[in-house]
Amino acid sequence: MNSPSRFRNKLYDYITEVKKDILKRYSIDFSFEEIGDLLISVCRSNDFGVMKYQNDRMFLDEEKFWSWVDEKLIPNTITVNLGDEDIVRLLIFCIEITYQMFGGGTKATITQKGFRQRRRTFESILVDQFVGKLGEIFVKKFLEKNYSARVELDWEISTQIERYRNDIVNAVRNVSIKSSPTLAGVWAEADLGYDYGIMVKCSVPQQPILQFFIEVCGFARLLDFAEERIPQSNGLFRSYLNEIRNRVKAYKCGDMQTVLKGFVCGYFKTSEYSPTPEGSNLPYLGLVREERYLVPINELKWTKNEWSRFVEEVEIS
């Protein structure tokens, strides 16, 4: 189970059937890769006790796996259209904070420790910001829809790097919401200083900003502009333009088709755990580069009663 790609290839037929069954039962269209990564995650963590052991071999208990799908995955999965108000707000926020990072308007840097001291491009930072904050929107939708909570997110761009900022600004306790684009992951995390950590696995297009650009017609306008500037006699580039148009012709201007999916895995109270020291080595994660709370996802609180208790404890009801 060390390689998600080999795992998916080995269980290709089974994953394909699971994908079809989930679409038929719940009308949620997970991709083959998404189902494969979610399956390897539940196997790695042995959530719901899905793994059976016999004669030094491991087997998937399909009944328990489907219990996990029915009871945990589907009820805790939120789908949001790319044109949703909060997603549009997120895009604008990410563009502005990225410009400020490059312009020195915020103390956040473009070579932060979490990125191994490498200098990042504008585009990579923009996507990191988008995916990193996307989980907050999924949590907001999830709690407001299912628990009548009132969730206010932090949209302020600070001029200072604070030790911690509450991701739910109207909560009386410090809440950390971490987004992961890696559906195969098995660890939830929170930085020091927080009272609660929430883990969200986010499924987004490989190039979410480009997809946004395509669906709001910015891409079509770029192609129109290019056709005006490139002479008709330049057959090579005319063929390039035609190929690109064919790839995006299914998208009508302003018709936002892309759906983002978020699996709210659950939450944990940091008071019940000790921070994991820097330099530790964890299965399926590797070297811990900074001391923080790291909790196996099968230990998270996720039931209706536990989420109701969370809403009461942080006073957002």
Domain ranges of the chain: 4-74, 78-206+258-313, 217-248
Residue pair 49/61 in contact (Cβ under 8 Å)? The answer is: yes
Query: What is the DSSP secondary-structure string of 209-252?
Result: HHHHHHHTTHHHHHHHHHHHHS-TT-HHHHHHHHHHHHHHTTPP
Q: Measured between alpha carbons, how far is 33 from 39 in angstroms, rounded to an integer?
A: 10
In degrees and rounded to multiples of 5, residue 230 shows phi and psi of -90, 125
Confidence at residue 165, expressed as pLDDT on a 0 to 100 scale: 83
Nearest to 133 by CA among 92, 174, 161: 92
Confidence at residue 54, expressed as pLDDT on a 0 to 100 scale: 82
This prediction's pTM = 0.86
Confidence at residue 107, expressed as pLDDT on a 0 to 100 scale: 52
- Where the chain has pLDDT below 50, the residues are 111-117
The secondary element (H helix, E strand) that includes residue 92 is: helix 85-103
Confidence at residue 5, expressed as pLDDT on a 0 to 100 scale: 82
Confidence at residue 6, expressed as pLDDT on a 0 to 100 scale: 85
* CB neighbour class for 148 (10 Å; exposed up to 12, middle 13-18, buried from 19): exposed
Q: Copy the structure tokens of residue 97.
A: 């904070």
Question: Strand 51-54 and strand 187-190: pairing?
Answer: unpaired
Residue type, 11: L
